[in-house]
Chain A
Amino acid sequence: MEGLTGRTAVAQEPQQVLTPDGELVGEPPLDLDDTRRLYRAMVAARLYDRKGSALQRQGRLATYPPFEGQEAAQVGSAVALRADDWMVATYRDAAAMWFHGYPWELLLLQRMGDERGGAPPEGVNVLPPSITVGAHLLHAVGLAWAERLQGRDRIAIAYFGDGATSEGDFHEALNFAGVYRLPVVFLCENNQYAISTPRERQTAAPSIAVRAEGYGFPGVLVDGNDLFAVYRATAEAVARARSGGGPTLVEALTYRIGPHTTADDPRRYRSEAEVEEWRRRDPVERVRRYLERAEAWDPGWQAQVEAEEGAAIEAAVERAEAVPPMEPEELLGAMFASPTPQLLEQARELRAALEEAGERP
C-alpha cells in the first residue's frame, strides 16, 4: 500500500518460509529437533480440538469453538514467548494457551461450565480466555505496561481474530500501545470469518497488518498456516518489545476449517470448495511433509505421538470430569477477597433452599 509518505508500508503478500507442499522458500528459523517438538504440539492440539467437538456432541461440554486450521498460527507464535510472558487470548486459542502452560484439564473444566477452569497454575501468566470480543487487547496493554513500570522485561501478547479489529477497543489498545511504546505483541489470527461475516466486512483496508501504520508501529503480514513464518515474525516482534522497541501487529492469515462453534452451520455462508482449498494449505500436514523430506518423520513416530498425546488428553478429560461441583459458599465466594454480608446471607439462603429440596449442591 502506498502510505502517506509514498513508501511501501506493509507488504500485501504474506511472508512465507514453507510452501503448502512443505518446501522451503526461505531460511528455516528452527532446527529439526525444535520443528519436531512443534509438530508434535500441533498434532496434540488437533487431537484436543477434535476431542472437544466430540465431547460437545456427547453432551459433556457446552458449546465448543474449534480451531482446526489455526494450529501453526497459535503454536508458532506461542513458542516465540518466554515462559513468564503474559498471554491474553480468546476462546479459540486453546492451542496457544496450552503451549504456554495452561493445562488441557483446566481448559476442559471451563468448557464444562466450571469457573475453576479459569485459574491456571501459579507461574502460568495466561488470563482465562476472553469471551467478549476485543476488550482483552487493552488488558495486554495494561499488563505490558505494569511489567515495564515494575522494571521487569516480560512482554504481553494478545491473540484475537479479524472480527475483533472492528471493535473500538482494538483502536484504543493499539493507540495506547503506540503512544506509550509498550512491550506488547498484537497477534491477529485472521481466519477470514467472524461467525458468518467475511473479513471484507470488517475493514476496507487491504490488510489488517497495514492498520498498524496508523498507530505508529510496524505491522507484518504472514502466512498463518506456515509454522516457520509465524514463528519468525512473532520472534522478531517479541524481541522488539523486550528490547524497548515498542509494539508490533502481526497478522497471521489463516482459516477456520470448522464452524464458529458447535452451534454454527458454516454451509450457510461459505462454500465447500473454499474449505477444500484451505484444507490443501493445512498447517500440520505442511510441517509433516517438510519433516518427511528431511527424513525426520515416519509413520511409527506419528503413531507414537498420537498415542501418547491422545492418552494425555483422555486423562485430562477424566480428571476434569471427576471434579466435584462447588458448594454454595464457594460458588458465591469469589466476587470479592472477602464476601460481603449480602453474599454470605445469599449463600446461606441457597444452602437452605437446597437442603429443603433434598438436593445436594
Chain B
Amino acid sequence: MAVLNMVQALNQALAQAMEADPRVMVLGEDVGRAGGVFRVTDGLLERFGEDRVVDTPVAESGIVGAAFGLAVGGMRPVAEIQFMGFSYPAFDQVVSHVSRIRNRSRHRFTAPLVIRIPYGAGIGAAEHHSESSEVIYAHTPGLKVVVPSRPYDAKGLLLSAIADPDPVVFLEPIRSYRAVREEVPEEPYRVPIGRARVAREGTDATLVAWGAMMREALGAAEALQAEGVSVEVVDLRSLVPLDVETVVASVRKTGRAVVVHEAPRTAGFAGELVAIIQERALYALEAPVVRVTGWDTVVPLKRGEHHYLPSVGRVVAGVRRALAG
C-alpha cells in the first residue's frame, strides 16, 4: 500500500472521482496550470483537459456562484478557494443559495457541489491565510461540513463529498497537508460523512478535536499516558452532521471532556459540543467540560502565532483541569 501525505491523497481522490464520473470537474484560482497553490490539483489539467480543470478569474463569488449553476445543471463541480480567509467574498453565494436551493425548491433543484477550503494557522502566513472559520459554515443550515485530519480520511471523505447529493464544505488543514504520511489504499473507498472516529481509546478523559488540532490532541494523550493518565481522543471528521452518539458514548465512559479547536473561543464549535454533552451526559460528568481554543483575536502573524494556537502543553493543562474539577 502506498504511503501518502494528505495532498497526495486528495489528489488521488480527485483523479479517481473524475475518472469515474465525467460530470466531476474542478474549478478555482490556479488549479490548472499551477496545480493549485498547495498542489492538490497537480496533474489534473494534463489528464482531464481544460473543460474539466478550469482556471478561473480571481473572483470567489464567481467561482461558487458559477459552481452552483453547474451543479444545478447536472455537473458535479469541486470548487477550490485558496485560503479560508478568501472564502468570505463567496459567503453570500454559500449561505443564500448553495445551502438553500433544495429547501427553496422542495427538492426540485439541488446543488451537489463541493467547496474545498484550506484552513488553519501554524505556517507563519500573511493575514487572512490562517483562519479557522468552520463554525460559520456549521451554523448555516443546508451545508455539510467535513474536516479530515489524516490522509486516509481525506481521500475517503472527499470521495464521499463528491458523491453526496448535497453541498459539502470540505475543510483541509493546511498544517497537516504534508505533516502526516500514512498508508492509503490505491482503490477508491468512502469514509462516511457524519461519523466520528475514536482515534485513541482511553478511560480517564475524552479529548474531542478535528482537523489540524488532532495532532495536539494525540500529542497530549501520549504525554499524559507517560503519567499514567488514559485519554480517549475523538476525531469528529464531520461537524455537520455531527456524530453525537460517539462523543456522548465516550464522555459517559470517561466522565470528563475537553474540547480543542483553533478557532476563537466565543461562539466557537466547542460551545455546541459542551451544550450537547451537558444535555446528553450531565450525570456522567465528574467535572465541568473544558475548552482549549484559540483566543478571541485575529490569528497573530508569524511572530505571535505560537501564542495563539493550542499547544500540546495547553491541551495537557486542559485535561488536568478536567481531571481536577
B104 touches A115 (CB 8 A): yes
Chain A residues within 8 Å of B61, by CB = 135, 138, 168-169, 172
Contact of B92 among A132, A143, A334, A340 (CB under 8 A): A132
User: B107 on the interface (CB 8 Å rule)?
Assistant: yes
B70 touches A128 (CB 8 A): no
Q: How many A-B residue pairs have CB under 8 A?
A: 140
Contact of A335 among B52, B62, B103 (CB under 8 A): B103
User: B97 on the interface (CB 8 Å rule)?
Assistant: yes
Chain A residues within 8 Å of B102, by CB = 334-337
B75 touches A150 (CB 8 A): yes
Q: Give the number of residues in A that approach B within 8 Å (Cβ atoms).
A: 40
User: A147 on the interface (CB 8 Å rule)?
Assistant: yes
Q: Give the number of residues in B that approach A within 8 Å (Cβ atoms).
A: 45
Contact of B73 among A86, A128, A179 (CB under 8 A): A86
When chains A and B are docked, how far (Å) is the Cα of A179 from the Cα of B52? 16
When chains A and B are docked, how far (Å) is the Cα of A118 from the Cα of B97? 13
User: A142 on the interface (CB 8 Å rule)?
Assistant: yes
Q: Which of B115-174 contact A (CB under 8 A)?
A: 141-142, 144, 165-166
Contact with A along B212-229 (1 / 0, CB 8 A): 000000000000000000
Chain B residue with the shortest CB-CB distance to A141? B66
When chains A and B are docked, how far (Å) is the Cα of A116 from the Cα of B105? 7
Chain A residues within 8 Å of B67, by CB = 142
Contact with B along A315-342 (1 / 0, CB 8 A): 0000000000000000000111100111
User: A249 on the interface (CB 8 Å rule)?
Assistant: no
When chains A and B are docked, how far (Å) is the Cα of A263 from the Cα of B236? 47
Chain A residues within 8 Å of B109, by CB = 127-128
B75 touches A119 (CB 8 A): no
A119 touches B68 (CB 8 A): no
A146 touches B51 (CB 8 A): no
Nearest chain B CB to A324 CB, angstrom units = 15
Contact of A118 among B51, B74, B105 (CB under 8 A): B105
B93 touches A138 (CB 8 A): yes
Chain B residues within 8 Å of A336, by CB = 102, 142, 144, 165-166
When chains A and B are docked, how far (Å) is the Cα of A135 from the Cα of B166? 20
User: 14 pairs across A/B with beta carbons < 8 Å?
Assistant: A115-B106, A132-B92, A139-B69, A141-B65, A142-B65, A142-B73, A143-B72, A145-B70, A145-B73, A150-B75, A337-B102, A340-B194, A341-B244, A342-B244
Interface, chain A (partner B; CB < 8 A): 86, 88, 115-116, 118-120, 127-128, 132, 135-147, 149-150, 156, 168-169, 172-173, 175-176, 179, 334-337, 340-342
